[in-house]
Amino acid sequence: MAHRVLVTGGAGFIGSHVADAFLADGHSVTVLDDLSRGRRDNVPAGASFVRADITTAEAATVVREGRFDVIAHLAAQIDVRRSVADPAFDAGVNIVGALRMLEAVRASGAPTRVIFASTGGALYGDFATPPNAETVPKDPESPYGIAKLSVEYYLAYYARLHGLDTVALRYANVYGPRQDPHGEAGVVAIFCARILEGRPVTIFGDGHQTRDYVFVKDVARANLLAARAALPAPGRLDGRAFNIGTGVETSVVDLARTLGTAAGRPVSVEQAPARTGEQLRSAVVVDKAAKVLGWQPRVTLEQGLRDTYHWFAEQHATARTPATSGTGRVGTR
């Protein structure tokens, strides 16, 4: 059955892949994005596009009047370090933006399933030994993680009091094509850019801090399955929350080494002091997603890093090669 789907943040890295997945499955997709971090050319050709900030009345009108069957809410402030520097800004986007969206869904009266992009790393903090299941105590180390947890409490509240159909997908460290190499949120993209530029990658501390790296197309497929799965009754924190990762811890040192294999060249490393407050270990248990959603990761880290590096290499080559059409322009994405 075809659905009307809204993907907020659908011009961004993960959101554009989510939009791709819903379109490929035969659904009608609208992308809402303010393009503050996203790119217009990330929006799939078959999707409608609305440029709007998720915190505004304009975005609320789109949600309320669209009466969507599914909303994948990925519009967010994604930089953990910025959340530490400016927690009020982070809360304004990540908490208030989500609340405005939920209020608009409630006002619409539509039986919309809201799929919220939460975090499986920043939510659990360093107080539980990974891999972490959904029910472990939460004690986020950053305002970013606090905001994500706050929204999950609001999801449970809106489900109990207003009957909203809500789901939280707690992503591990997502990587893949289209990730921004110019921010703090994507170490794989940053490393790919450094390798292609012939520059050393920077490893903070001893490099033994770990993350659970999950390929973006696996994450997009999780959204698709969450949209159509038969789920338990909503209303309790963790009840409709699903970790989306691999359950495997990979150190930064091993990540750099595996990327070097994908690139076919040794990776030069420069050491830098450890960053204050950085989480030391992170990985999630994905058994619940397998049982309830029928989801498991399909792409190995080696395959995913190879595909990601090759995509960045193509972008790098295109940006460096003058167009041959006589326009004098340089081809870029």
Tell me the mean pLDDT in the region 12-26: 98
pLDDT (tens digit, 9 = 90+) per residue, 242-260?
999 999 999 999 999 999 9
Here the CATH number for the domain that contains residue 15 is 3.40.50.720
Checking if the pLDDT of 74 tops 50, the result is yes
Checking if the pLDDT of 33 tops 50, the result is yes
Model-wide pTM > 0.85: yes
pLDDT value of position 179: 95
Tell me the mean pLDDT in the region 180-203: 88
- Looking at the structure, do residues 156 and 38 belong to the same domain, yes or no? yes
User: Hey, what are 314's tokens?
Assistant: 């193509």
- Looking at the structure, do residues 49 and 97 belong to the same domain, yes or no? yes
Whole-angstrom distance, CA of residue 236 vs CA of residue 210: 30
pLDDT value of position 326: 35
**Count of the separate structural domains present in the chain:** 2
Signed CA dihedral, 287, 293, 294, 298: sign only: negative
Q: How many CA atoms does the CB half-sphere of 4 hold within 13 Å?
A: 11
pLDDT (tens digit, 9 = 90+) per residue, 122-151?
898 888 889 999 999 998 989 999 999 999
Instruction: Tell me the DSSP string of 147-190.
Output: HHHHHHHHHHHHHHHH--EEEEEEE-EEE-TT--TTSSS-HHHH
- Looking at the structure, do residues 104 and 197 belong to the same domain, yes or no? no
pLDDT value of position 324: 43
Q: Which domain holds residue 261?
A: 175-211+249-282+300-333
Checking if the pLDDT of 116 tops 70, the result is yes
Q: State the catalytic residues.
A: 144
User: For residue 120, which amino acid is it?
Assistant: G
- Looking at the structure, do residues 240 and 197 belong to the same domain, yes or no? no
